[in-house]
Chain A
Amino acid sequence: MTIVKTTYNRRSFLQTTVLAGGGMMLGFSWLASCNPTPEEVLNMPKEWFNINGFLKIGENGVVTIMSPNPEIGQNVKTSMPMIIAEELDVDWKNVVVEQAPLNTDIFTRQVAGGSQSIRQGWQSLRMAGATARHMLREAAAQQWQVPVAEITTAAGMLYHEKSGKSIGYGEVASAAAKIPVPEEVQLKDAKDFKIIGTSRKNVDGKKIVTGQPLFGLDYKVEGMLIAMIAHPPAFGMKLKSVDDSAAKAMPGIKDVFTINLYNEGYEKQWSDTTAFDELVVVVGNTTWEVMNAKKALRIEWERTSAAENTEGYMAKMAALTAKPATQLRKDGNPEAAFKSAAKVIERTYTAPFLPHNTMEPMNFFAHVTADKAELVGPVQTPEFMEKTVAARLGLPLEKIDIQMTRQGGGFGRRLYGHFVVEAAVISQKMNAPIKLVYTREDDMTQGIYRPAYHVTYRAALDANNKLIGFHIRGGGIQDSPVHADRFPAGAIDNYLAEDWTLDSNISTGAWRAPGSNFIAGAEQSFLDEVAEAMGKDPIEFRLELFDRAKKNPVGKNNDYEAARYAGVLELVREKSGWGKNDPAGVHRGVSAYYCHNSYVAQVIDMVLEDGKPLIQKVHCAVDCGIVVNPDAAINLVEGGIVDGIGHALYSTLTFKDGAAEQSNFDKYRLIRHSEAPKAIEVHFVSNGIDPTGLGEPLNPPIIGALANAMYKATGKRVYDQPFLAGGQILG
């Protein structure tokens, strides 16, 4: 039994403000006649009793649990409430889930980023459930005049064994709400979990498959106008002049004007990264009318800094990798090791810029009045954007209200909420509720892109083919992918890691598994080549390195646990039958990587069809500690694998004269049905360790397994992403 100190402040117990009736689409008269979803089929209580900010209990025992974090497809809207429900000890079928609004007084870290929602929410969610359970037990104990220690719970019921009394949570909820918050509470033992570790369906599943309003783009209120922006056609340009006469005269158009995102002297937070500060805005009645008016704008732009071209920055990056860079870590004497080496293997890997391409383009609703701002939509960083909007509008923080919708993908793009500020500024100017909508082209051509990367690996082998030195040097545009303390640091005596960054007017930022989404593939491809040069099996070679790092680690700050790393690799070896039951005619590649606190190992089974790679199966082993919602976790694992394979094989954003050359899905390639693996088999390590995330650890390593399988299939190594540049759709 774990006892934890409760850490609520007083405001955690105040009524939370959520939009009525699940929140969305208040102006829609038809909503009332909508068919109920399973959660609404429950007999809804007449009265709710707020136990704490995370949950309320109705007089009939139905429980509403608030899901605090942004839902971008990682399933936290189901899995986070499951953790609360576990400690509360209720039947999941009596739970209704609501998306919590931004409320930093109650909730900690309402951010979707870094695969941290479950990991960092684990304790506070359990505590919220356990605290409520304790208060319910206290209330029952007082009612029955028995010691609280004698009160047990199960599935939303309270029991006193000695007297044979029992009562439902709902019947004591009113009294429980008045019980003082305990200073410490007991958490369940993992062996007693009844909800955590069992598969529960997506709480929004039925709404999704029946097309009910859920997403930011679906949000609407009476009198709402539609706004769109026009931005410079290329990076390093700004607005010179606008002739809006034709646009303004078009049907349904209310106004055309320009906005600036940030006040002069405003100190930007990291989440304020944006491509362009000054934008032209068109506001009108309907999306189609505004889209057409936007096309009728006659805008002159002027250049403010040099235009980037793909050949140009790729050459600049190669030049930076070719010369000494910032030393991040040095173990032993790598210079001497390379000098004395019998053989040096040197390979260079590159990757292009990538837009995030969430299927739901950027959008946000804003209704700003003289004294408050109401904002609704998809954003991964509501608590950061609250500050930015407050500063921009000159309103106090408590006057900024942000509600989160379900989000049509995130992948890091919605960490940068400039579109929230844009919506707020436009609404303020119009003095009306507006919804800002980006077209796909707006979204793709003014992104906060995954940086373009460039890295060179070198390995020194002695005359006995022993690995005696390792060197990594690389960087990227505005961000380096080199993680100096990650494997194989700690496993090789002589090690050197260096990096550089290159400035550019092209805006870059976090993209699902920043840095790792490139470096894992490069590193794991390189280790495959080293193993081959040493005449070793690639899994055996890695396990030897992990063994070294486990028994006698080099250096001090190694950012991984070698035993868990080896654990996933051994598990995938066993489950795939690697080396023992290799299927005939199938080419196999392996990879293992650790990032965002979770360990992953993968084996790809590939065949060639008309010279093109076809992935028959992916075997995947994952160590993310306790798996909260297994089937949903498997879904996320499958998605990460498809994502990694797709981007590595097909996706690229190139630049000419400062402009993105791909602006929509006619030129920009995303993986499609026929190109996905035919089967994905997922195995979780069972170890009872506190859970870690799954949003990001899956897509990085699969790129290495893919490259290694392609080598086995074709005899040729691939170094530059996308591996199938210009590839046609298979199937």
Chain B
Amino acid sequence: MATFNLNINGKKQQVDVDPATPILWVLRDHLNLVGTKYGCGIAQCGTCTILVGDIAMRSCMLPVSQIGNQAVTTIEGLSEDGDHPVQKAWLEHDVPQCGYCQAGQIMNAVALLKANPKPSDEEIDGAMNGNICRCGTYVRIKAAIKSV
């Protein structure tokens, strides 16, 4: 066990956990931020995507000890009142079916759009290919990203 001082969604958070604990489980089990989802545990499905700085990371394999003082943003921290442009685009296109993977899709899209505000279809595919949607909302996700 070790104490970590984290910067999550602009708030200082202190947790006392095993340093190897993936940040995913720190968020979900210790900080009650359950918007970040578990899907595979091996960084293959993208469901657990968060932002570390401006970079999209898979939180399921990222030990809390590696976060340091970098700012972590989760789906809950994307905007104060749920009106981040990407969230709004998702609502406008009514993207979700089951909705389980969408937090990860949104976080990855946010990182993509920060780095590349007007991505082409190919660039969207390239950036988003790590995020699986089992319901098959890919067509709408792309439309939503292009509308931001």
Question: Chain A residues in contact with chain B, CB under 8 A?
Answer: 25, 28, 30, 35, 37, 72-75, 199, 201-202, 204-206, 208-215, 217-218, 220, 226, 251, 286-289, 291, 357-361, 406-411, 439-440, 631-632, 635-636, 638-643, 646, 664-666, 670-674, 676-680, 729, 731
| A635 and B82 in contact, given A211-B75, A288-B21, A439-B41 (Cβ under 8 angstroms) | no
Interface of A is mostly: loop
| A643 and B136 in contact, given A209-B82, A210-B35, A359-B47 (Cβ under 8 angstroms) | yes
Q: Indicate whether B2 reaches chain A with its CB closer than 8 angstroms.
A: no
Question: Which B residues touch A210, using CB under 8 A?
Answer: 35, 75-76, 78-79, 82, 87
- Taking a contact as CB atoms closer than 8 A, the residue among A212, A289, A361, A676 that contacts B38 in the complex is A361
Q: Determine the residue in chain A with the shortest Cβ distance to B98.
A: A73
**Could you tell me the distance in whole angstroms from the C-beta of A190 to the nearest C-beta in chain B?**
24
| A440 and B39 in contact, given A288-B22, A673-B142 (Cβ under 8 angstroms) | yes
- A and B contact pairs by CB, cutoff 8 A, 29 listed: A73-B98, A204-B99, A205-B94, A209-B75, A211-B74, A211-B75, A211-B76, A212-B76, A286-B25, A286-B29, A287-B28, A287-B38, A288-B25, A289-B18, A358-B98, A359-B37, A359-B101, A360-B98, A360-B100, A409-B100, A635-B97, A635-B137, A642-B138, A643-B136, A665-B39, A670-B134, A678-B121, A679-B139, A680-B139
Question: Chain B residues in contact with chain A, CB under 8 A?
Answer: 1, 17-18, 21-22, 25, 28-30, 32-42, 44-45, 47, 74-76, 78-82, 87, 90-91, 94-103, 106, 121-122, 124-126, 128-142
B128 near A673: Cβ-Cβ < 8 Å: yes
| A206 and B126 in contact, given A217-B34, A359-B101, A676-B139 (Cβ under 8 angstroms) | no
- Taking a contact as CB atoms closer than 8 A, the residue among A636, A646, A664, A729 that contacts B97 in the complex is A636
- Taking a contact as CB atoms closer than 8 A, the residue among B30, B98, B101, B122 that contacts A72 in the complex is B98
A639 near B137: Cβ-Cβ < 8 Å: yes
A639 near B25: Cβ-Cβ < 8 Å: no
B102 near A208: Cβ-Cβ < 8 Å: yes
Question: Which B residues touch A212, using CB under 8 A?
Answer: 35, 76
A226 CA / B25 CA spacing, docked (Å): 12
A286 near B125: Cβ-Cβ < 8 Å: no
Which 10 interchain pairs have the tightest Cβ spacing? A211-B35, A642-B136, A408-B100, A73-B98, A211-B75, A674-B125, A676-B138, A73-B97, A665-B44, A639-B136
Known: A220-B32, A360-B39, A672-B132. 9 other contacts (CB 8 A): A202-B96, A209-B82, A209-B87, A211-B76, A286-B29, A291-B41, A358-B100, A408-B100, A673-B142
**Could you tell me the distance in whole angstroms from the C-beta of A17 to the nearest C-beta in chain B?**
24
| A211 and B94 in contact, given A440-B41, A673-B138, A673-B141 (Cβ under 8 angstroms) | no
A205 CA / B129 CA spacing, docked (Å): 23
- Taking a contact as CB atoms closer than 8 A, the residue among A37, A361, A638, A664 that contacts B137 in the complex is A638
Q: Determine the residue in chain A with the shortest Cβ distance to B33.
A: A211
Question: Which A residues touch B39, using CB under 8 A?
Answer: 359-361, 440, 665
**Could you tell me the distance in whole angstroms from the C-beta of B130 to the nearest C-beta in chain A?**
8
| A731 and B94 in contact, given A359-B134, A638-B136, A677-B139 (Cβ under 8 angstroms) | no
A642 CA / B100 CA spacing, docked (Å): 17
A209 near B97: Cβ-Cβ < 8 Å: no
| A642 and B139 in contact, given A204-B99, A213-B34, A408-B100 (Cβ under 8 angstroms) | yes
